[in-house]
């Protein structure tokens, strides 16, 4: 979709081979012309019932990417956190996480389908769109 070259390393469950390949490519290739990264699939989780005393930095210590924590009903907060798929699956199955002195609920957020911004249909992108109708200006 973006024109980037993605090299998949088959049979690499612990990401060791992929990170080794990324470091070797980073040494060989020019860093100003090429960006090399070892990607990890992530899943997004909604955290509900966060105590108001819990700071965003405390959630970031767990290793995932954390979104803004907003106030919800009852004076408790809610937000989202993005984890690698294996850890996110375990958290979602547990259904709760201890934050400070309280426990918050954890719910898996389903992945959104790809959307075309030309015809506004789901399942493909503008580059592969075959529709003659252009609804992108709406």
Helical segments of 49-138, H only: 56-60, 85-94
pLDDT tens digits for range 16-33: 888 888 888 888 888 888
pLDDT at residue 5 greater than cutoff 70: yes
Q: Which domains does the chain have, with CATH numbers?
A: 1-39 (no CATH), 42-108 (3.30.70.330)
Query: What is each CA distance from 18 to 3, 14, 23, 50, 79, in whole angstroms?
Result: 20, 9, 9, 36, 31
pLDDT at 1: 54
Confidence of residue 107 (pLDDT cuts 50, 70, 90): very high
pTM: 0.67
């Amino acid at each position: 979709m973006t024109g980037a070259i993605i090299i998949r390393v088959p049979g690499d469950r612990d990401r060791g081979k992929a990170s080794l390949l990324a470091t070797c490519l980073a040494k060989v290739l020019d860093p100003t012309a090429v960006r090399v990264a070892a990607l990890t699939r992530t899943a997004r989780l909604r955290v509900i019932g966060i105590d108001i005393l819990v700071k965003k930095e405390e959630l970031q210590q767990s290793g995932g990417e954390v979104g803004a924590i907003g106030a919800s009903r009852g004076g408790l907060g809610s937000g989202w956190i993005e984890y690698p798929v294996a850890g996110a699956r375990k958290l979602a199955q547990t259904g709760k996480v201890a934050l400070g002195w309280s426990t918050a609920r954890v719910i898996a957020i389903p992945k959104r389908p790809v959307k075309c911004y030309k015809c506004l249909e789901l399942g493909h992108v503008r580059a592969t769109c075959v529709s003659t109708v252009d609804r992108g200006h709406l």
